[in-house]
Amino acid sequence: MTAPNRLSAAAAIAALGRGELTAEALMRACLDRAEERRDVKAWAWLDPEQALAQARAADRALRPGVLAGLPLGVKDIIDTAAMPTGHGSPIYAGNRPFADAACVALLRMAGGTVMGKTVTTEFANRFPGATVHPHNAAHTPGGSSSGSAAAVADWQVPAALGTQTGGSVIRPSAFCGVVGYKPSFGEFTRSGIKLQCHNLDTLGLLCRSVDDLPPLRAALLAAPLRPIVRDVAAPRIGVCRTPAWERAEPATQTLIERAASRLAAAGAAVCEIAFAPEFANIHEHHRRIFNYEAARNYAYEYEQHHELVSPVLRDTVLRPGRDLPLAAYIEALGTAEAFRRHLDDLFAGCDAFLTPSAAGEAPEGLGSTGDPSFNSIWTLGWVPCVTLPAGKGPRGLPLGVQLIGKRFADEALLDTAGWAAARLQG
């Protein structure tokens, strides 16, 4: 029999709903695994008694909701009234928010329980947190949703919340070998989440199966559950190498070619997709918007707690962002909107794009969270993204493939991801 903590979120919800498993038993199994694997350092805050009290309350609930008592990890830039929210920074050590973030409140309304707060990089930016890769502690788990990715991959919690401003959901999910989902920009509320970039920040999900995404998505939208549709027609897939293709390691380039061949053999109509020449430097426009907005949204931290902000954040983001002229920022905003319209046009002939989730396996060392080049352009494009585990690289660590959907066609993308996952397994 599968240990409760090793169940996918969808399988756990089903077992809870049938009465074959209690929320308390599931939470205990997750807590036991987290204690056993403390060296992964996935949690910024974990109070077993508090977590178990929530689980017992879920078991007593007359209306358990779509999540039925499911334990969840919450990235530590997301406010929780009953737990500290430290934002990965000494500035906010012991910080106790007044209220839950809207997303946490929505998960609770749907019957979810918050197991604890997962480690984030400093302000969900570049300076790493304590978490190590769950499969090889000498490698980064990615970031900034490092604790969420590691906890889900290491069987410590079935699913977790993350955020993405560059590549902070998709890349750590790919590095750790789990499913990651970044929705269309604006679909999930950001109220109560530490703001970094108002034109880029996106709440996302990390889990173990594409089938986990619909109940979590339904909870966060306060909408009826819509399961993955399994009998969809074979999709039209556009292979999009992006202007960052040369940064992809050979194993990743081979993986994308192999995945395209397998999907084509299964009946997908596969073609090549390329950006128009004027978007060859689209990464630069993401960088401008990122730096400019972060420099202003962290004005308090920069001015009042300057020495407690890491040199990495101060010198590579905040100072350049303060120095960037307003005209350059406005130009980047205009280019970003033109790029989104260009993507809309490209999707006229495709149901989804196939592209790398990351440049390669998780890099060795803990001083960096990896290259976001294969994520930031899609974050800028406001399009939904899903990464699927798709094998291992030469060092034995996970690799992923990324599927991109049209803006606000998230449900169609999840259907396509379900179709593709079934044909890429094995």
Could you say which of 8, 89, 144, 146 is catalytic? 144
Decide: 157 and 71 in contact? Cβ < 8 Å: yes
Q: Is 182 annotated as catalytic?
A: no
Q: How many residues does the chain have?
A: 426
- Cα–Cα–Cα angle for 88, 284, 334, rounded to 5 degrees: 105
Going by C-alpha positions, the residue among 393, 418, 392 that lies closest to residue 403 is 418
Q: Is 168 a catalytic residue?
A: yes
Fold annotation for 4-221 = Amidase signature (AS) enzymes (3.90.1300)
CA distance 321 to 8: 41
| Terminal alpha carbon distance of the chain | 22
Confidence label for 426 from pLDDT (cuts 50, 70 and 90) = low
Confidence band, pLDDT 50/70/90 cuts, at residue 213: very high
How sure is the predictor about 62, in pLDDT bands with cuts at 50, 70 and 90? confident
Q: Which residue among 75, 182, 194, 406 is the active-site one? A: 75
User: Which CB contacts under 8 angstroms, 24+ apart, belong to 36-40?
Assistant: 37/134, 37/154, 37/156, 39/132, 39/137, 40/131, 40/132, 40/134, 40/137, 40/150, 40/151, 40/154, 40/156
Q: How far apart are CA 395 and CA 136, in angstroms?
A: 10
Whether pLDDT at 68 is above 80: yes
The CA R_g of the chain, rounded to the nearest whole Å, is: 20
Helix and strand totals (H; E) in the chain: 15, 11
> What are the pLDDT digits (tens) for 7-22?
999 999 999 999 999 9
> Taking residues 292-314, what's their average pLDDT?
98
Amino acid (one-letter) located at 182: K
Per-residue pLDDT tens over the stretch 228-239: 999 999 999 999
| Statement: residue 425 has pLDDT above 90 | no
Q: Kindly indicate the confidence band of residue 288, based on its pLDDT and cuts at 50, 70 and 90.
A: very high
Report whether pLDDT(410) > 90.
yes
Cα separation, 6 vs 30, in Å, equals 9
- Mean pLDDT (whole number) for 278-290: 98
Kindly list the domain boundaries of the chain, sorted by start residue. 4-221
The active-site residue out of 146, 168, 184, 357 is 168
Whole-angstrom distance, CA of residue 116 vs CA of residue 271: 44
Give the three-state DSSP class for 363: coil
- pLDDT bucket at 353, cuts 50 / 70 / 90: very high
Active site residue 209: no
**For residue 1, is pLDDT > 90?**
no
Distance (Å, whole) CA 224 – CA 212: 15
Q: Which string of b and e fits 12-33 if b means at least 16 CB within 10 Å?
A: bbbbbeeeebbbbbbbbbbbeb
Q: How far apart (Å, rounded) are the C-alpha atoms in residues 134 and 156?
A: 10
CA–CA separation, 120 and 164 (whole Å): 11
In terms of Cα–Cα distance, which of 202, 142, 231, 203 is closest to 178?
142
Is 266 in a helix, a strand, or coil?
coil
Give DSSP secondary structure letters for 156-196. Answer: S-SEEEEEESSSTTHHHHHHHT-EEEE-STTSS--TTB--S
Residue 148 neighbours by CB distance under 10 Å? 38
List, for residues 84-108, the tens digit of each pLDDT value. 999 999 999 999 999 999 999 999 9
User: Rounded to an integer, what distance in angstroms lies between the CA atom of residue 387 and that of residue 406?
Assistant: 15
